[in-house]
Every structure is written in C-alpha cells, then in structure tokens.
Amino acid sequence: MPQRITITNYSNRAFAYPQLPTLQPGETRSRRLGSADLDLWAMSDQHVKLAGAGVAVSYDDAAPPAVTEVDSATTLAADAQLVVFTEAGYEVELPALSGVDKGKRLTFYLKSGTGNVTLKGNGQETIANAPNRMLTVPGQVLRLIADTDDNWALTN
C-alpha cells in the first residue's frame, strides 16, 4: 500500500480530492496515508482521467501517470494527456488525429520559462481551425479535445 499521496493541480480551476483540502490552480499538496486510508480513485483507475483534466496524482514520489514533462521541441505521443512545460521558447507538435480517438482530451500547462511554447497541429491538422496556438505566460492552461479528423478544438 502506498505511504504518501501527492497531487498537483495544473488546471485553471480549484480541485477537491477526498484525502486533501481543495487545491488551487498551480498548487501541490502531499499527505502521508494511514492504514485506514483507501484511495478509491486509484483503485478505479481514475488518475488517468484526472490527468486529462489537468490534475496529477502520484504515490510515494513516483512519477504521476499520464503526465508528460516537456522542456524542448518535440512531437507528442498519442497517449499524452497532461503536458507540463518546464521551459519555454520552442514548438511542440500535437499527436496525429488519425492515431487518437475522437473526444480525446489534452491539457497543457506552462509551468515556467520565458518566451512562448507554440503548439502546432500534425501536418495539415489545425488547433481551433488555426495552424497553431501559443502559451505565453507561466501558469497558463490550454485544454484541447480531438474534434474532427483534422482539428483539435478548444475546451473547458
């Protein structure tokens, strides 16, 4: 059984988790788990869904599932869900829509850095019907959903 739970809220809204007080955007909290604690979310594999909403949960200081930290130009894998940018000043290509299910959600969080992170569609694919979108300010959040065969739409 895990000894410690750590939750980071990369979303742009407050998040309440059963074992911790409400986390504000950008906040991280940790708590030692007692023998009576039961994390139903982990048992039901909800942490992957939480990552898609911008919330990372990890145990015993292990890397959170479904979280990708990026600090340089790259092409994202189809299984990416929560992408945290730890630096800025580069381009990131989204996964090809042909390789993801419609309705798949991606959450992007610019944690730190100066400059912009430019997200661009794969090939001729678009983001909100434009070739790219930028994250410009630390703390900024952008959420996308696979909308059509050639467009990622903005979502809440």
The answer to whether residues 72 and 146 belong to one domain is yes
> What pTM did the predictor assign?
0.74
Domain span at residue 128? 67-154
Q: Which CATH number goes with the domain that contains 90?
A: 2.60.120
Domain closes at, from 59, 88, 104: 59
pLDDT, tens digit only, all 156 positions of the chain: 667 778 888 887 888 877 678 889 888 888 887 766 655 545 545 666 677 678 888 777 776 666 888 999 999 998 888 898 988 999 999 999 999 999 888 889 888 888 899 999 999 999 999 999 999 998 888 989 999 999 999 987
27 Cβ partners below 8 Å, 6+ apart?
8, 9
Domain count, the chain: 2
The answer to whether residues 83 and 143 belong to one domain is yes
Tell me the sheet residues that pair with 48.
none
